[in-house]
Structure 1
Amino acid sequence: MEWAEGPYSAEGVPCFVCHMPKARGRSAPMAEEGMVAQHIFLGTHNEAKLKSAIEISIHPDEREVPYDGVVTLQVELFNAKAGHKIPTGSVEDRILWLDVRAVDSEGKEYHLPVDKKGFDGEEYTIAADELAYTDMAVPLDLKNFKGVQRDGIPVGNRIFRMPYFDENGIMTIMQWNTRSLGVDYRIAPRETKLETFTWEMPDDIAFGNITVTARINYQKLIKPVADFLKVPAEESEIILMNEASTTFEVYD
């Protein structure tokens, strides 16, 4: 459906062009040599494929900021290559998020929370200290289960997801127990998401050059869930999809 509604479908570019790239070879020992589609089905378990999908840039609204001033940084995220939304597949399991950090001239690091936009369901697209996935108690036969951390990433980070909800309106990772879907805040094919970060200079900021880095990270399975279920560590490892940096000066 995501592909059918996107630009690649209209252009006649099918899924296998990306997921089954052609290379010279033989499709069988007795076949003539030619261009053969490779049955490798590159996707979320291929790190190189992930790292080529989203382009990212970051810019401040001012290059010189007083020590008691405010700077607004804008991050642009462009789905440059995927013919579907990112993340896709087992959307209820995946987590894609934007992490922005500033480092001053003395090496102090500051984590910047994203500015809210105010759309319905946005609370599920900003990392929070919240519990979820309580319905895991059903197949595991657990009593008085309070759930696990919903996101497992720094509070205030922007998340690109479409939450799945159980009958109680609590986020679930179990498709079979899904009763409704939340806001779809994934990045569509050739879509650009703009995120802003308004940062008031902290009292302990050092004068001089400030470097701000935006990173787009991905996990195949939300880490608190992975840890609870004791799945292999590679399923919840953080994959850096892309990053970009910018600078500005803080003056007295």
Structure 2
Amino acid sequence: MDLDEALASTIKGAYLDLDLWLLEWQGLVSTNAANPAERSLLDLNLRIQHAWAVLALHLRALTACGIENIAIMTVAQRSIALAAKAAAERHLTLLLATEDGSSGPGPYVANFRYAMEFVWAKNVFCVLIVLRLGILLEDPLLQLALRLQEAREFLRELANVGMGVNVSYTRILAQTVGKCERAVKVSLQEASERNFRDTSSDDDFQSFVPKEFVLEWDFQGLNLCYIPVDWQDLFFDFGAAA
């Protein structure tokens, strides 16, 4: 069994465990939470935690692959990256979920100011990963624009409910949105119109690694990048000539 097969088997087993965990807890909530509003909020929190766990699972699997450059990943490794992106997107959608017909912050964000620092960190990190993987995996620009809109909405909702002591994570989220917007704007330009400063925008976003995510929480996936194969060939040729 090669590495790709071993990883696929491990991921499949872990995913089944996570699905069973979600079903068991949803059953407990359904049985014990008599208040419909409380039951709905608890179920939302469970689904958010499940999406986070699935994301963390796939990001750790990518780290285990030992390959940071998405451009040279195998089909199996790229599928892991796509699964991580899907989990992060689902996580962001759940963060913004509201009651039918309601306006303003959803039930999860409404209580966000009381959350522990780790909760702030992981939710802001998930937004960064949504946007980073969207660019690295070359999502259509319209889809990237939609994810950016959701990220801006999340930022606005945090401002509306109060940032509490975790201003630093709100700042990281604002920087994430700003850097991604500049990278997307560059992608919309014709190649002939780009100058050096413009073409550096994508690199700036890819290299954006807040120290809090690495030093304090050791979140995986921030080392992922996209370096086209022809660039690698160029560097190889240069080294050979030297």
TM range (shorter): under 0.3
- Which is richer in strand? 1
Larger CA Rg, structure 1 vs 2 = 1
Normalised by the length of structure 2, the TM-score is 0.27
- Which is richer in helix? 2
Higher relative contact order (CA 8 A, sep 6+): 1
